Amino acid sequence: MKKAKYLFPQDYMADPSVHVFEGKIYIYPSHDWESGIAENDNGDHFNMKDYHVFSIEDVENGEVTDHGVVLSTDDIAWAGRQLWDSDVAFKNGKYYMYFPLKDKNDIFRIGVAVSDNPYGKFIPQPDPIRGSYSIDPTIFKENGEYYMYFGGLWGGQLQRYRNNKALESAHLPEGDELALCPKIVRLSDDMLQFADEPKNVVILDENGNPLLAKDTKRRFFEAAWIHKYNGKYYFSYSTGDTHLICYAIGDNPYGPFTYQGVILTPMVGWTTHHSIVEYKGKWYLFHHDSAPSGGRTWLRSMKVVELEYNEDGTIKTIEGSR
């Protein structure tokens, strides 16, 4: 499989987070709905009110199973609007879904919902995680510990915070200022709270210097993901307004990570969001584009393509469809 294929053309699903549970691939995407609001940089045109779960046993030739709605804003006591990208982790017989959602004050928090099965339904906790903010949580397990990576600029509200505290006025760095960093935090033993304070995930250039805000083709924007290959940690992410999926490599989950290159060139549509998984001896990149909806950026469709490595451990760039 060298050409990307669509996974569920019947509906608009985006931002696929993917894991292998119970011997098959489970996909946890966001769900695009028309909001009726004009497109803007805060993402108000995204009306995303529920999650479906999908599974597949044969990535290249198999059918995708839709397990239906597993969580909606109607289920969540503190819900305002907009369920953006989620992720799921497994521990001690339970599955934990981490989701960003705007509260009743239109501020993104990160919530947790729990299920006995990877396909739900997921039952939300009564309150968001204490101290949580911004979007795009992704979970990584290492040596029995679970870590959350999160953060997103513009509509993702990361520019509203410094040192985990809300600013009086948001500030998005520009020019030679240091780029904003995604965050990493260890989860508590019960998987329901942060175990410590979120820390910066620093991405370095080839000279060992942190990336600058003006370096828009390499700096982090949103969509953190991490996987391990040959003992190294691969931190991948979207550059947002420059429409690239890039990656950086480090020696531990906290980084720092040194920029390596582009995984995926621009697709049809504005946003690019992905996950990477190994399954049955092959690696796959799950992502989305807006081609089936005629290029409307708020109606996106899931895709998958095989991902390959070079002998030196770098990732071969995949050409998008823009």
For residue 281, is it left (φ>0), alpha (ψ between -120 and 50) or beta?
A: left
Contacts 24+ apart (CB under 8 A), 196-199: 197/131, 197/164, 198/131, 198/150, 198/164, 199/254
For residue 146, is it left (φ>0), alpha (ψ between -120 and 50) or beta?
A: beta
Catalytic residue among 32, 85, 222, 289: 222
Catalytic residue among 15, 85, 136, 289: 15
Written as six digits, the tokens of 31 are 């769900």
Query: What one-letter code names the amino acid at 37?
Result: I
From CA 111, how far away is CA 149, in angstroms rounded?
14
Cβ-count burial 5-16 (b if 16+ within 10 Å, e if not): eebbeeebbbbb
Contacts of residue 71, defined as CB under 8 A and 6 or more positions apart, other chains included, come to: 50, 51, 83, 97, 99, 113, 120, 121, 122, 124
Reply yes or no on whether 222 is catalytic.
yes
How many CA atoms within 13 Å lie on the side-chain side of 260?
Answer: 24
Reply yes or no on whether 87 is catalytic.
no
Query: Could you give the residue numbers annotated as active site?
Result: 15, 222
